[in-house]
Every structure is written in C-alpha cells, then in structure tokens.
Structure 1
Amino acid sequence: MPNKKYTIKDIAELAGVSKGTVDRVLHKRGKVSEKALNKVEQVIKEIDFQPNPIARNLKNNKLYKICVLMPDPKYDPYWVSANQGIIDASNEFKPFGISVEKCLYHLYDGSSFAKASQKAMDFCPDAILIVPLFQEELRQVLNVCRQRNIMVTLFDNYLEEFTGEIFIGQDLTQSGRVAASLLHKVVGKNDEIAVVHVDLEPHMELKEKGFVDYFNENSNDIAIITKSFSTKDTLHFKHSADNFFQEHPMIKALFITNSKAYEILEVLPEMKKMIIVGYDLLQKNIDYLKKGKIDFLIHQKPKRQAYLGIAYLAEHFLFQKRIPKKELLPIDIITSENVDYYIIETSKTS
C-alpha cells in the first residue's frame, strides 16, 4: 500500500469494520469478534501501522508523575547544575503529560532524606529519580516502591548494595584511576600524593580505591596519604588543614575526591604549589583552574545525569522505550585550555 499516515478511520474502512472496533483492538479493551479482530490485525500488518503514543496519551488525559529525590542546591553548589537538568527535562516533557515534582533534602541529614522521601511517596508517583546518599533510608524507600510498583532510577551517586537498580552516572572507581594516571605522569619517584576527602561520602571511597589500585599496579615508589576534612566548622577545618600540610611537607600532589577543591585552596591561600586534580565545573573551581592553582578537573556532568534520568523515564512511559540498566557517562578531563568550550556547551545543552 502507498506510504501515508493512516488514521483509525482509514483502518476501519480498509477492514470493513467500525472505528469503535478498531479502537478496541488497538487498546485491547472491550469485546471484538474473532472475524473482526483478524480483519483489523491483517490491515495493521499490511500498512505497518504504528500508534502514536503521545497522541493517545493526550487523548486519554493520562498524566505520568515522576518525583525527584535529590539534595537541595542551596546547601552545595554542585547540585545547582543537576537541578537545572531536572528543570530542562521537566519543561521539555510537560506538554506530553509528564509531571515532575522535586523533593529536596539536606545532603548530610538522613532524617531530611526520610522526610523528603515520604513527601515523594505522598505524590503517588509512577516513577522516582533518586540521588542515593543514605543506605538505610534508601533501603526503606526501595521497599515501598516495590510494594507500590513505582519505577526507580538512581543517579550521580553509586552505592554497591543497590546494583540491581537502574543507575545513571559515572564509573567512580574508574574515575579514580583516571585521576591517578594524570598524577602518575607529572610526579617523580618517591614523591608523596594526598588523597583528600572534603565532607566524606561513601562514593568518594570508590574513587580512592580506583586511585590506590592504579598506583599499586603501576608504581611502588609513590607514597599515598589519605586525609578527610569536614567543613562544618570553618576554623576547625582551616586548623586541621594547616596541621596536615605542616606534618606532610613533602606532598607534591593532591587528589580531591569531590567538587570542593576550592575549599582547600580557600583555607590555604598561601599553600605551596602542588599539582591538584579535583572535580566539577563550579565557578570557584573554574577560577582556580584558570589561575593555574588547579591543574585538572574531572567533569561529572551532573546536569546531563539529571536530565537523562527524567528523559529515560518519560520516554519509557510515552514510547515504551527500555531504560538501560546502567548508563555510564564519559569521564572528561578539563584543563585551563579547554574549560571555556565546556562552559559554552554546558550552557547550551542538557
């Protein structure tokens, strides 16, 4: 048959049945005689008819609810970019019957996560997109989601206990190996490298593991020191950092395992020059990168992660697309020479 866009009316005429019969066949509802069913299915096969799920969704006034459970950006600038990814995806899919609700929590408070998750459940969502920072509280949320048949996708932070869930993010262990390979090329034999955790979270230890494994496999003459700092008390943070670097004057390089490289540089502005690898395109990190005080930033693409989390769920509901079990984004290395390109691209796209 000639190429054209067929309607239910066309199919009914070709099959010699009513439009109501075609509608019941397409939507698998109501009674249809075997003879009529065979006629309609034969026509559908001949014309290769593909129903428009968006049009059908709008016609039926079907609304899909997606809740996002993520840290509140006002407590950490890292999450501003992720929040923008949620906003972009929400605006894109809203006209097609996708409703997105954000339930924000304090990234260092498990009880805040629990309250936000309860708020999310109160929305009775079809799916929930979660940044998983608290294992016990997340376990409880997942149990409720299974009972209510709510789809779950995790993004940004990877917790090994929940490998069965859909995940969008980066391979954090491999990310640590990338940082190690960068520093291995610029430090000398018998130099000391510090792995620095600022406000330690479980995912940072995966980066540390990848970093240490790389040197164990490739170099036995580099000393690796690990140190964790808390920024909750600024004076204590500065005092601890001062003491640490005085006690370890031979440190030649730092691997800072999250977006807070700028925090170290702000409390130690007169620190001797070291090679520094950090994470993320926060404005303060970019400023230090351009000044030559940070040498490399690993781009974790939080905006892209969040956008994909909503987009995959929306396309699953609208088009029945399969969501990949694990979507690992590339690990990009940013320097002062290419950072402006990434800033421009990040502002243009999700």
Structure 2
Amino acid sequence: MKKKYTIRDIAELAGVSKGTVDRVIHNRGKVSKKALERITKLLTEIDYEPNLIARNLKNNKVYDICVLMPDPEVDPYWSPCTDGIKNAIIELKAFGVNILTVLFNPQCTKSFLNENENIQIMLPDAVVLVPLFNKESLFVLEKYEELGIIVSTFNNRINSATINKFVGQDLFQSGRIAAKLLYGLRKSEGDFVIIHIDEKYKNAIHMQEKEKGFKSFFDESLKFKNKILTCKLKHPNFESQFNLFLNEHKYLTGIFVTTSKVYQVAEIIKNRTQHNISIVGYDLLPENVAHLKEGTIDFLIHQNPKQQAYLALKYLVDFLLFEKEIPNELLLPIDIINSENVEPFMGN
C-alpha cells in the first residue's frame, strides 16, 4: 500500500522545518529557493497528495454554490432535479458547502435574467444553471466570467466561448433515435411531424438540436419518400391549432414531440378517429406514463433530469473541495422507455 506521508515526515526527509514544508504545500509565505527546490522534488518523488478535506476544514473555508433552475411548479419536468440536488446536499453536509437553489419562470426570459442578477450580487463561489434561453444565457455567462464565478450547466447545452462544462444528453442523437423509432413503427406510407410546444424555437437550442437530429436520420434514408413537417403550438390556443393542423394533414403516420408535454398531443389524438398515428416524446411525467401504458404514446425518451442536476452539482463540489477537474462534457445514456419497461424507471 502507498505510504501516507505527514508534513513531519516530509520535513525530516528534506532536512527543513515543518513550517517550511507547510508554506510550500499551501503556497503561502516566503521560502528560500534551495528549500523550495528540495521540497518540490521530494513531493514529486513520493507522489504526495494533501488531505484536501482537512485543509478546507482547518481553513474554515465555506463554499457558496447557487443552483439556478426552472420552477417545477410551472413545468413539472424539473421536479426530479430538486430531488437530485437534495441528494447532493445530504452527501455533502459534512463539508464546508452552502447550496442555495434559485428558481426562475421557464416561460419568462425576464425572470431568468432577474434571478441571475440576484445571484451575481451574492457573489457565490460557483453556479450550476440551466441555460434555457440561449441569447440571455450567453449574456449572463459573460458576466459570471467577469466576476470570476465558476459555472457548470446541465440539461441544455450552450455554445459559449467562456463556459464549456455540461452534464446532459446528446440531444441531436436523441432526435435521431426518435426518428428511428417512428420509422420502425410505421404501418403505412405517410408523413411525420415534429411538434414544438410553448417555447420560442429560435431561442431554444434544445429544440433545434432534437429537430436537426430527427431530420438528419431521414436525410440519410433513401427509402423514406414522405414529408417531414414541423408544427409550433402554444397555449392558450393549443388544442384549436393542433386540430386545425390535423385536419389539414390527413396522411400523418408519426408524431415526434420535442418536450415533456407530449401527453397534450396524445390526449387530442386519443379522442380523434386517426388511431394509426405513432407518437414518440420525452420524459416520465405521470400523464405521459399513463398514455404510454394505454398505448397512445409508443415510446418515451428518458432524459433523467434528477441525475443531471445531481452530477452537475457533485462535479462542481468535487472541484472546489478536492481539486478534481470538471469534465467538459458528461453525456448520460439515452434511455428508451415503452409500456413494458417503464416501471423500473419510475421514482429513480
């Protein structure tokens, strides 16, 4: 087993005082060039690893971390994230870490900007956030960079020159998977439609990536000769808009919904005579699972928001406490859920 060296051991081996070794290890105070070279060489030879936990506790360093995420009361998709954050807090309660969760309205860019401004006033050591709105996210990330605040992101990828730490899924690939699922479900010739619900498409990179992935699958298929349509629906006129779209497109055989609100589409399809339409969407909301078990929805792609939030926070804390590098990108598996395998995923 690897020997655990104390500061006293290192001081005796280097022929210097414990105080000199302490100053070198913690990079504080003046040390002669000769002593510095001797200690540094010795530390390299013995592969010395300081007890970072003890160091933080001794220095009474308390790290403040803010988690900025959409309000689950507005969009239930985000509810599992709060569980992931709670799990991380429980694991880390013995260390000097304060974790504050801040919520913004996912339907309001002003709310997102205001909450980011409030966080920046607090000057935390680090921030974990969901860059839901692309334009506004790029703006706030530049401000965090100026303030020297470490930032990691989850769920939504952002193309930022300053921030590149991301935990989530390959959304382009999940779009391709949705396309392959619908293609395999097709019972007859007909068109497919990509449906976006309640978000501004031009400012929603996650929707764009899923759509690009979906279309790329059929761009490479020589057998598919039908149309790939797109439809953007918003409340409060969601139902009337969608029924109008269905009346105008009688030859639909597949629907791909790019958000967790797929149940809203399934409910309308269920009550129409067009029962030959296959549906693929996202996430294990209770309403989605109910339609999955009934057979109205054929497949759900599980994005595991709980694990995304947990890992984004855990990696950030590991960096602050233990100086472990945060991976630039951590892509979680893309789970394909149907009525037969849904139960083991519920509650996880």
Equivalent position of 1:248 in the other structure: 249
2:316 pairs with 1:317: no
- Counterpart secondary structure, 1:73: coil
CA distance in 2, matches of 1:188, 1:148: 56
- Counterpart secondary structure, 2:218: helix
2:232 pairs with 1:228: yes
In structure 1, give the amino acid aligned to 2:227: A
C-alpha contact 2:14 2:38 (8 A) present in aligned 1? yes
Paired residue total: 341
Q: In structure 2, list runs of 5 or more residues that go unmatched.
A: none
CA distance in 1, matches of 2:186, 2:36: 73
2:139 pairs with 1:140: yes
Change (3 A) 1:46 1:189: same
Give how far 1:113 is off. 0.6
User: 1:214 is matched with which residue: 217, 242, 251?
Assistant: 217
After alignment, is 31-40 or 57-66 more displaced? 31-40
CA distance in 2, matches of 1:250, 1:277: 17
After alignment, is 184-193 or 67-76 more displaced? 184-193
In structure 2, give the amino acid aligned to 1:321: K
CA distance in 1, matches of 2:161, 2:332: 19
Equivalent position of 2:84 in the other structure: 85
Q: TM-score, normalised by structure 2?
A: 0.90
- Counterpart secondary structure, 2:173: helix
> 1:12-40 CA distances to partner (integer Å, 9 max, x unpaired)?
34444433222112112112334544554
Equivalent position of 1:175 in the other structure: 174
Q: In structure 1, list runs of 5 or more residues that go unmatched.
A: none
CA distance in 2, matches of 1:159, 1:3: 42
Equivalent position of 1:114 in the other structure: 113
> 1:242-299 CA distances to partner (integer Å, 9 max, x unpaired)?
2222222321221111111112233454133221101011121112112212110111
> 1:214-233 CA distances to partner (integer Å, 9 max, x unpaired)?
112204422222111113x2
C-alpha contact 2:66 2:119 (8 A) present in aligned 1? yes
Q: TM-score, normalised by structure 1?
A: 0.90
Give how far 1:43 is off. 4.9
Equivalent position of 1:153 in the other structure: 152
CA distance in 2, matches of 1:251, 1:114: 40
> 1:35-81 CA distances to partner (integer Å, 9 max, x unpaired)?
54455445544543310111101110112222122111110100001
Give how far 1:177 is off. 0.7
CA distance in 1, matches of 2:298, 2:189: 21
Change (3 A) 1:136 1:186: closer
2:288 pairs with 1:285: yes
C-alpha contact 2:62 2:96 (8 A) present in aligned 1? yes
In structure 2, give the amino acid aligned to 1:217: E
Equivalent position of 1:338 in the other structure: 341
- Counterpart secondary structure, 2:94: helix
- Counterpart secondary structure, 2:73: helix
CA distance in 2, matches of 1:276, 1:163: 38
C-alpha contact 2:66 2:102 (8 A) present in aligned 1? yes
> 1:119-168 CA distances to partner (integer Å, 9 max, x unpaired)?
11122112211211223322321221121111222211124466952222
C-alpha contact 2:263 2:287 (8 A) present in aligned 1? yes
C-alpha contact 1:156 1:305 (8 A) present in aligned 2? yes
> 1:310-346 CA distances to partner (integer Å, 9 max, x unpaired)?
11111111222222222222211111111112225x1
Equivalent position of 1:124 in the other structure: 123
In structure 1, give the amino acid aligned to 2:123: C
CA distance in 2, matches of 1:278, 1:337: 16
